[in-house]
Structures are given as C-alpha cells and as structure tokens.
Structure 1
Amino acid sequence: FEAPTVALLAKRVERAGTARARVVPVERPAEVPVAFTQQRLWFLNRMEGPSPTYNLGICLRLTGPLDRAALLGALHDVAVRHESLRTVFLDRDGVPIQSVVPADEAVPPLSVTEVGERELDAALTAAARRGFDLAAELPLRAELFALDPTEHVLLVVVHHIVADGWSLAALTTDFSTAYAARVAGRAPAWTPLPVQYADYALWQREVLGSIDDPDSVLALQIDHWKAALAGLPDQLELQTDRPRPAVSSHGGGFVPLTVGPETHARLLEIARGSGASLFMVMQAALATLLNRMGGGDDVPIGTSVAGRDDESLADLVGFFVNTLVLRNDLTGDPTFRE
C-alpha cells in the first residue's frame, strides 16, 4: 500500500479499537436518533407521503378453528417484544427522531374482512398497498380475510423502516409462538431479547461518529467509497426490449430459475478450484453476461448485505440490511477464472 493508504488504515483501526465493539443496552435519552439506514427511508416517506413502495408483507393461510382474540393478543405480544414494531418517527426541525410507544398502548390494528376466494387476490393486493403515516401510526398492521368459519388468510404488513427480509423470519416465529400461547390461555414464555433496535441506533452513532469530524469512522468510510466508486457509470447501456422509464414505477416481479444438480456440482467445482465462494462464481457470471450484452468493462452490481455483525442482533426485528456496490473491472478481456 502507498503511505497515505497505510496511514488511513491505521487511523481507522485506532478509532475502531476505542469504540464499543458490541451492541449492549444503554441508558437512553428522551429522544433517540434514527439509524442511518432508517434516515433515508424517513426522508423518502416525508417526500412521497404514505406509499406502498417500502411495505413488507407476510401472508399466511390458516385452516381450522381460529381464535381471533388470541390472534390480536399475539400481535400485541410481538409489538411489545420488538420495540421497533411500536416506534413512530417524529420530525424535530427536519431531523427524524424515534419515539417508542408504551407497551400497553401499542396494539397493532387488526381488521377483519369477509371475502370470497375469487376476490381474495385483489383484496390482499389492496390491503398490502396501503401506506403508513410513520409519524402517527404504528409501522405494523394486520388484516384477516375470512373465507369461511374454518378458512382464513392473515396478511401482516410492516414498513421497511423497522424491518428487513431477515426480520420477517423472526417476526413469523415469534408470532406463531405467541399465538400458540394465547390459545392456551397464557402469555408467551420466550427468552428476552438482549438488545432493542434503539440500542443499536445509539451504538451505531457512537461508533461511526460525526461526518463533521474528519477523523471519524464515518468520514473515513465515506472517503473510501467516494474513491472506490469514482467515475462509476450512471447506468449500463444494455440493449433491452423495453425503454427505461423516466420515472420509476417501483413495479417488480419474479422470474423462477431452477439450477439442476449437475450444474450445481460444476459450479461448486469451479468455486473450489478458484479458491472462491459459490456467490463469487455467480457474481462473476453475471458480470460477464452484462459485459457480453454491451454493458462495458466497468460493471457495477448491487447486492444486499445483512448488516447484522453482532450476534445480539440475530433475532431482532429491525432494519439492518444495506446495499453494497460490487464494481467489476473487465478491462483487458480477462478469463472467467480471472
């Protein structure tokens, strides 16, 4: 490394070594700042107003007798367990602040709608697309669609500002545990969470420091990414069958793809022979494909990272996921293994 890079790394190591390495519960101030990931979603929500763009949904078909009181009790149990699910976001002179609603007041709304099987998809879509007013309502709600006395579909919607894809597994597991307990006439007996999301937000601010401090971890990381992404193409000029829209519709879909056992075995063989992971092989394949399709030699690909670097965050409902830019340099026509 050149001397400036060595000095930068040394400064980051020194700063990181003095910071609290693990997320632990702390005495909180009256108002807690949002995490950096939340800050951008709060801004978009304020700019666009309530919209379904960042709604996350869980849809469960329930067959058999249903205890609606236990269902509502289980939703409340989950909101009490995970403070993020009973957090509203207030505006303090243009700065977002987290405010945790007291447990006894945090009862997520549960509406019940009678619907036929033919109308179910449209009803689910309409319910999932209702936005949240993050300053005035809980970022969690549920709607129960009753097809008949023993057939129901439960839709649980949560705003992305308090949850991510990883969170949905924890949310589903805790909700199932709570419902089983409430049907049995008792409160759920689960192990207390080691930390809450507000603890993480405070820890993150402490570790990263202020952008105004040139020696802070935050300032140094921003300097790194400015250098790493300098000159990045705004978009890849690919030959597509539809024009890029002037304004994003936020519409999306899924394309199913099955990789057979023989292909999977060959992919693993390439990975092992190259000292790489299977993810790296697929990443290289995508970069190569985009290059061959006319995307140029500088191919940036976005991928999501979990952002849960501390084991105390593993079972917590919260917004930790982030997007990482993987910049692929294909100049000089490298081989695939290269």
Structure 2
Amino acid sequence: MTQQQDQLGAVRSGTEVVVGKLFAEMLGVDDLPRSTSLFDLGLDSVTVTVACARLEQMTGVRVRFSQLFRTPTVAQLAAWIDESGGGLGDVGEGSQESGGDRAAELVAITPMQAETVPMGIVVEIAWWFDGAVDDVALEAAAGDVHRRHQALHARYLSGRDLGLAEVPADPGRVEFHRLGREASEAAATDVFWRTLRQPLRLAEGQVWRCAIVRTESGRTLFGLVVDHAAFDGRSWDILTAELPVAYAARVAGAAPRWPGRTASLAEMAADARQQLTVADAEAQRGYWRDELRDLPACHMPGRVEVAVVTGSRWSPAGPATVSSFRVDNAQLRVWDDYARATGMTPSVGVAAAYVQSIIRAGGEPDFGLIVPIANRAGEVIDRTVTNRVCDVVLRPNGPSRSGPHILARMRDSYHRAMAARDVLVDPKELGSILSGADPAGTIRLDRMIALNYNTVPMLGLGGVAGTLAPGFSSGSRSAFGVMLQVVPDPDGFSMDLLTRTDMYKPDLADQLRRHFVDIIAAGPEQLEAETR
C-alpha cells in the first residue's frame, strides 16, 4: 500500500491510514494517535468485535479478537496486518451449503466441542406468543435452520471416537412436537417441558428439539432445547435472527434466502487448529503457566469438598440455588464513565465488584475467575450456530499483579488474558496447567468461580413478539461452586448469583448478592479506595 506522513512527519503506511480512519470513525473522533492504546481511547469489547469483522473485509486479513489486545495501537495493528500478508479469509464463500447431494463424512470437531460432548449440558428456552402463530410454517422454518447448520444435525461420537462427528448426507428432519391445545397455561407448560426435557442422543444426531403448544385462551408457547456441544451464547443471536426470516418465507410459500453460507464442522475444527499455530503460541502458553502457577482454590467459609468423577476431566455439576436481582442503568452510569476514563471495558468493573464480593463474604483474596469467551473468527464462522467458546482465567490478586487497586489489577489481568487466549481454544491447555501432576489433566471447575455474560434471546414471528417464558435458566445445577450470570438489556443488567448447595449453605447466594449490590451502589472510586 502507499505511504503517507502524519502531521508530525512520521511515515504511515496505507494500511495504517485505513486502520486509523476505521477506528476514528468507530470512536467518533477526527483522528487517532498512532501510538496510544485503542483501549485507552475508549475501545470496548463490543466495538472490538465489529472492528475485527470490518478489518477483515477491508484488508483480507483475518483479525482475531485477541490480536487487538496484543497490538492495541493503530501503528502496531497496521504493522501486524502488513506482516501477515493475507489470511485464511472466508474460503469458498460461493460454495453450496451442506445438503443431501454429498456423501456422508466423518470429520473432526473442535477441542471445546469434544470436551463438551460427554458433559450433557442442555440449554433450554421458551417464549409465549399472544397472537396467531402458524405452526406448520414454524416447523418448516425450524427445518430450514436445522439443515443450514451442520452442528444441529451432526452425529457426535464419544468413547474412543470422541472428537469426531459424522455429518450425514441427508440432514433429516428437525424434531418438532406439535402438542395440540391445553385448557390452561399450567397444563400447557407441564406437557411442554415434559416433552422438551426428554434426553437428547447426540450419537444419533438428536442434537436439538422444538415444541409448540396452545392454550384455550389463545396463547401459544414455543421453545427448544439444544445440547451445548452444538450451541453457545452467540448462537442465540443467530437462531433468533434466522428463524423469523425462515418463518416469514414459509408463510409466504417460499424458501428462505440467507445472507451467506455457514461454516462446516470441519472448517470450525481447522480454524481452531490454525489458531493454535499462531506465532506466539509458546509465549501464550508461558503466560498461562506463569499466571496460574500454584493457583489456589476459592475457599470460602463453610465450604464442603465434593468428589470428582473418576475418568472425567471436568468436575461434575451439583445442585445450586439462585439469587436473582437487577442493576439498572442509573446505577451503572458512574461505572461506565469510570471505564471510559480509565480505558477499560465495563465488564472489568463488574468482574472486580464480583471478586470483591467474594472477599467481603470471607473468601481468600487470591483465586481464579473463569470467564467463557466467544471465539469469533471471521464472518462465516460468526454467523454459524455452533459452540465456539473458549475460557480465560483472571487472577487479579495473584503474585504477578502489581499496584494496590482492584480495578487496575483486573484491567491488567483482563488485557493480558485476552492477548494470550488463542491457545485456550483447546481445553487441554488449561487442564494441563491447572491440574499439575494429574496425568488426566482434570479441570476442577468447582475450585474456581465463574462469570458468564449472556444475551437476551428475544424472538418475534410474523410481527408477533414473544415474551420469554419463566423457567429459562441454567441455574438448577452448576459445575462451579459460585457463578454470576449477567444478561445485559436496554435498561441495565439482569443477574443470577448461583451457589452450590452441596458445597455451601443456601444463604450464601443472597449474602453475595447483598455485597455486590452495595459495591455497585458505592461506585468504582470507593472500591478503589477500599482496595488500596
């Protein structure tokens, strides 16, 4: 690309000019300093995601979420793009979608999917509709989505074949139950959930299930269950966007027209393998070994140890109690202002308040906070229903953190973790670090606390808006001793604090909620003063 000079005479490549203009536009400024961190200028996690997609379109280089944390200035990022000289891109954008015109194939799946297959984690959701819903068109639309995404119709193998999936030549029909009409909402809800909650059989391609039931009053309940091996938080946005498109087309007697193809399971696995070959992979592994060395368990008063299932790499899930609450935008405004002023994402403030809540409740200061992250990697993968999750572990009070303030320590931990996240697409990397001498590489999830950010999966069909049905929660069981689930919405955050009742007294969830709410109300400056 051609070169230009900035006002100070520094030579700027054509790539740097393009990158600078993009971020100046996204951040709403006229120009950006070439050597100042974009995060100090107000870049947040939402903007990063959009920026990665636009950079890929403009330069032809696949820019991962984590890369912006490794090269956070305009000059550094532009130099990295020039050095890359091109990326994998979206190969075969014009190729045909999966269908019955090809032979069945045995493919590898991603390491995270392989880890998730035997865990049996099922995600469920339902909506009430107060208006006409065409169940025939809705079943056809669900079938369209079923055929479009390999993750929803593949057969996931286990045992000695764990890590492989069979993609059938014919995706088959979606499992869709039309349950007729019930006299009351209670009766409809009962038959609905009894139908949906029958066990799924991944090895037979029974990955998800839909059901619809009506009441005598005219209300309609529609929902689905899906195995986590094929589905993640990003998939909610995809499904709730595609299903209405397909529904509208089927009501009109046509097939849906999609905006582009989706990734195959094989492409997903290849992308994960490619991610593990990044130039600084060993440096990333070194970061995690140093950061998580001798990581202690999160011990809180009254904790009871639970047994680990022999032969499993993961801690088993146990019963949990939930304390639900809201934090509205008025309370969050001071936190958002503080985040912009200090160059951190708002989620860092939530994480710091959560950690300090644990400490106020009697927990030891140094422990691991595990955070699932959507592993976005290009337009095609980003519009694919699948499980693209990887985990990072934050240790704001560990030996490597310097400085007295929890928010500053959490920001440093977050930025360094995001820059080293590529290798964690394979859970065995994290397992080998956390398990020490354990040859099985057991990941003791019950020895860490968790922080999950989720979306609000709203659905509209033919102009009729659905209302999220009660019972949408993964809170009845948890693999973690303590977990905070955060769901942003236009008015603030809805939050669920889960604590395992086989490990702690049931009132711990409410105790942690009170501490968290107090910290949010007091504001970030008070939290920093408290942690001097």
**Scaled by the length of structure 1, what TM-score is found?**
0.78
Taking the aligned partners of 1:202 and 1:102, their CA distance within structure 2 comes to 21
Decide which of 157, 166, 169 is 1:99's aligned counterpart.
166
2:369 corresponds to 1:301: yes
**What is the match of residue 257 of structure 1?**
326
CA gap 1:140/1:313 in 2 versus in 1, 3 angstroms: same
| 8 Å CA contact 1:66, 1:150 repeated in 2 | no
Contact conserved, 1:112 with 1:146, CA < 8 A, in 2? no
TM-fit CA distance, 1:61: 2.0
SS state at 2:338 partner: helix
- Give the corresponding residue for 2:313: none
Q: Give the one of 299, 315, 324 matched to 1:237.
A: 299
Q: Secondary structure at the match of 1:322?
A: strand
List per-residue Cα deviations over 1:155-211 (Å, max 9, x = no partner).
2111111111110121122111111111111111222325334312122224426xx
* CA shift in 2, pair 1:204/1:282, >3 Å: same
**Using the alignment, how far apart are the partners of 1:217 and 1:22 within structure 2?**
20
1:25–1:194 Cα contact (<8 Å) kept: no
- Of 306-315 and 20-29, deviating more is 20-29
Aligned 1:63-212 pairs, distance under 5 A? 63-91=130-158, 93-103=160-170, 105-113=171-179, 114-115=181-182, 116-148=184-216, 150-193=218-261, 195-208=263-276
CA distance in 2, matches of 1:20, 1:163: 26
Structure 2 residue 404 is matched with structure 1 residue 334: yes
Q: Distance in 1 between matches of 2:244 and 2:270?
A: 30
Report if aligned partners of 2:129, 2:221 keep a CA contact under 8 Å in 1. yes
* Cα shift readout 1:190-233 (whole Å, capped 9, x = no counterpart): 22325334312122224426xxxxx9976765454233211111
SS of corresponding position for 1:98: strand
Unaligned runs of 5+ in 1: 1-8, 46-53, 210-214
Q: Could you say which residue in structure 1 is the equivalent of 2:339?
A: 271
- Hey, what's the Cα distance between the residues in 2 that align with 1:29 and 1:136? 14
Question: Does the 8 A contact of 1:166 with 1:306 survive in 2?
Answer: yes
Moved more, 182-191 or 247-256: 247-256
> Is the 1:60–1:155 contact (alpha carbons within 8 Å) kept by the matching residues of 2?
yes
SS in structure 1 opposite 2:340?
helix
CA–CA distance in 2 between the matches of 1:337 and 1:143?
A: 45
- 1:42 aligned partner: 117
Task: Read off the aligned partner of 1:31 and give its amino acid letter.
Answer: L
Question: How far apart in 2 are the matches of 1:273 and 1:207?
Answer: 33
Q: Determine helix, strand or coil for the equivalent of 1:31.
A: strand
Check whether the contact 1:75–1:107 (CA below 8 A) recurs between aligned residues: no
Q: Which amino acid aligns with 1:317?
A: V
**2:348 aligned counterpart, secondary structure:** helix
The alpha-carbon distance between structure 1 residues 58 and 244, as it changes in their structure 2 partners (threshold 3 A), is same
TM normalised by structure 2 equals 0.51
Q: CA deviation at 1:17?
A: 5.6
Tell me the SS of whatever aligns to 1:182: helix
Q: How many residues align?
A: 308
Q: SS state of the match for residue 290, structure 1?
A: helix
Identify the match of residue 60 of structure 1 among 105, 127, 139: 127
Structure 1 residues 192, 18: CA separation in 2 closer, same or farther (over 3 Å shift)?
closer
2:471 maps to: none
Worse-superposed segment, 87-96 or 19-28 = 19-28
- RMSD over aligned CA atoms reads 3.4
Q: Counterparts of 1:269 and 1:207 in 2: how far apart (Å)?
A: 35
1:306 Cα deviation (Å)?
1.3
Tell me, in whole angstroms, the C-alpha distance in 2 between the residues paired with 1:198 and 1:252.
39
Distance 1:25 1:33, change over 3 A: farther
Q: CA deviation at 1:337?
A: 5.2
**Are 2:149 and 2:264, in contact at CA under 8 Å, matched by a contact in 1?**
yes
Counterpart position of 1:281: 349
Partner amino acid, structure 2, of 1:39: A
Distance 1:121 1:70 in 2: 22
3-state secondary structure, aligned to 2:362: helix
CA contact (8 A) 2:125 2:224 kept: yes
Q: For the residues of structure 2 that align with 1:25 and 1:251, how far apart are their CA atoms?
A: 46
**Higher RCO (CA 8 Å, separation ≥ 6 residues):** 1
- Change beyond 3 A, Cα 1:61–1:330: same
CA distance in 2, matches of 1:226, 1:330: 13
The structure-2 alpha-carbon separation of the partners of 1:176 and 1:252, relative to structure 1 and needing over 3 Å to count, comes to farther
Q: 1:137 to 1:272 in 2, by over 3 A?
A: closer
Task: Structure 2: state its 5+ residue gaps.
Answer: 1-69, 71-79, 96-102, 308-315, 409-532
Structure 2 distance, partners of 1:65, 1:280, is 43
The answer to which of 17-26 and 29-38 deviates more is 17-26
Question: Aligned pair in 2 of structure 1 residues 23, 219: CA closer, same or farther (>3 Å)?
Answer: farther
Report what 1:324 is aligned to.
392
Shift of 1:81: 1.4
- Structure 1 counterpart of 2:369, one-letter code: I
1:170 alignment partner AA = I
Distance change >3 Å, CA 223–CA 300, structure 1 → 2? same
Q: Report the residue type matching 1:334 in the other structure.
A: P
- Letter aligned with residue 137 of structure 1: G
Separation in structure 2 between the aligned mates of residue 222 and residue 158 of structure 1, nearest angstrom: 33
